[in-house]
């Protein structure tokens, strides 16, 4: 029987190709990602990654190592094959802290896939799609520049555009951002404005009413479900949930309020592939379209989310995200990249990517 013998951890700075500005002062420029390697007594290594954005959610990169130290007594020596069993023990031993468990869960799935000799999408429900549509996230800068970025992305095959809003603090400029991006990409492509919880209901309603004739979706304008529902009722626009969707209760609450036309299922918010797969199945029942992704990160978490996306009903997958395409360095040279606005999951066993361990250097933490 396979046993876990060692967990190694690295902190890796990821630098965005373009600085991302969001509402309420949130930014993504250089962000620390956490990479872990779970080794077994049979010579297999599973890789996991989690990359919390600072000041974004109740998660931070330097919290992962202490959580894994706390979990070491129930993880070291455990059988990694069949990740939900050891993750259930982890949940009993350390309730909460889903972001810290996310990297561990991904690594256990990687090992399980390698033992089975199958890519993870085969174990997560079977491959339903050869590739999946991507959205392109546009940093909140001057409206004309955002429209230019949208046009460039569209020329590369992108048909879905997330327009960051709120960084300049005035609602009229947000109206201009959405109006100019919509004009740049023309009718048909999906355009949605994302405040990342940074707007009041008043600001979001003013923006929504001003663009209500433009075929726009709103994403997570406010910090509470109730305020998001107020915006939806006042504007009549479809809405996507993100930050406030993180467990079964929040998905059900958003659905009851009528504000979950679409929802972002981010691996680290739910606690890895195991928990996010359960969230996906609930969304299939509730009827929401899904963006299957993660908060931030590079090739490891991108590979994991692509496997789950490929194993999901293509009619319900709104999009996935090539997080690793937004940052440097890449952690695996053979990891997937976008092609004509779409991306395919890896085909090798487990995650199906070869992480460049030499480039990571010496681990910051070893548990054995």
Give the catalytic positions in this structure.
Answer: 164, 266
Q: Which phi and psi (to 5°) does residue 120 adopt?
A: -60, -35
How far is 188 from 255, CA to CA, in rounded Å?
Answer: 26
Measured at the CA of 86, the angle between CA 85 and CA 91, to 5 degrees, comes to: 100
What backbone torsions phi and psi does residue 343 show, to the nearest 5 degrees? -150, 140
Write the CB contacts of 291 (distance below 8 Å, at least 6 apart in sequence).
135, 240, 262, 263, 264, 265, 318, 319, 320, 321
DSSP string, 272-336: SHHHHHHHHHHHHHHT-EEEEE-SS--HHHHHHHHHHHHTS-TTTEEEE--GGGGEES-S-TTS-
CB atoms closer than 10 angstroms to residue 155 = 9
* Cα→Cα distances 204→82, 176, 224, Å: 44, 14, 13
What are the start-end ranges of the H helices in 139-210?
Answer: 143-155, 171-185, 201-210
The candidate with the shortest Cα–Cα distance to 108, out of 225, 274, 318, is 274
What CA–CA distance (Å, rounded) separates 226 from 193?
19
Q: H or E element: which one contains 268? A: helix 267-270
> Distance between CA atoms of 218 and 241, rounded to whole angstroms?
9
């Amino acid at each position: 029987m396979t046993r876990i013998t060692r967990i190694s951890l690295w902190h890796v700075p990821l630098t965005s190709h373009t600085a991302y500005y969001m509402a309420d002062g949130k930014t993504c420029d250089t962000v620390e990602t956490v990479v872990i390697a779970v080794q077994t007594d049979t010579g297999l290594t599973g890789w996991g990654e989690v990359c919390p954005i600072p000041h974004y959610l109740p998660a931070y990169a330097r919290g992962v190592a202490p959580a894994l130290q706390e979990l070491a007594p129930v993880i070291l020596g455990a059988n990694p094959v069949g990740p939900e069993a050891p993750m259930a023990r982890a949940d009993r031993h350390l309730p909460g802290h889903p972001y810290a468990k996310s990297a561990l869960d991904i690594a256990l799935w990687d090992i399980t896939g390698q033992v089975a000799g199958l890519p993870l999408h085969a174990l997560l429900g079977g491959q339903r799609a050869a590739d999946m549509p991507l959205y392109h996230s546009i940093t909140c800068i001057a409206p004309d520049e955002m429209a230019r970025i949208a046009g460039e992305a569209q020329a590369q095959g992108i048909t879905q555009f997330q327009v960051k809003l709120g960084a300049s603090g005035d609602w009229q400029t947000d109206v201009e951002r959405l109006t100019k991006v919509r004009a740049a990409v023309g009718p048909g492509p999906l355009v949605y404005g994302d405040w990342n919880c940074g707007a009041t209901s008043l600001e979001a309603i003013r923006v929504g009413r001003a663009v209500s004739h433009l075929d726009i979706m709103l994403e997570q304008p406010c910090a509470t479900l109730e305020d998001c529902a107020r915006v939806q009722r006042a504007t009549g626009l479809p809405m996507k949930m993100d930050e406030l969707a993180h467990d079964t209760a929040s998905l059900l609450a958003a659905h009851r309020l009528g504000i979950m036309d679409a929802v972002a299922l981010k691996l680290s918010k739910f606690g890895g592939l195991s928990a996010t797969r359960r969230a996906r199945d609930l969304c299939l029942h509730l009827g929401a379209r899904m963006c299957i992704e993660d908060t931030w990160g590079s090739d490891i978490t991108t590979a994991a989310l692509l496997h789950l996306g490929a194993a999901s009903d293509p009619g319900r997958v709104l999009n996935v995200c090539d997080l690793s395409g937004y940052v440097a360095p890449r952690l695996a040279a053979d990891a997937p990249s976008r092609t004509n606005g779409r991306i395919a999951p890896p085909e090798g066993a487990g995650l199906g990517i070869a992480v460049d361990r030499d480039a990571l250097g010496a681990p910051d933490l070893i548990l054995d």
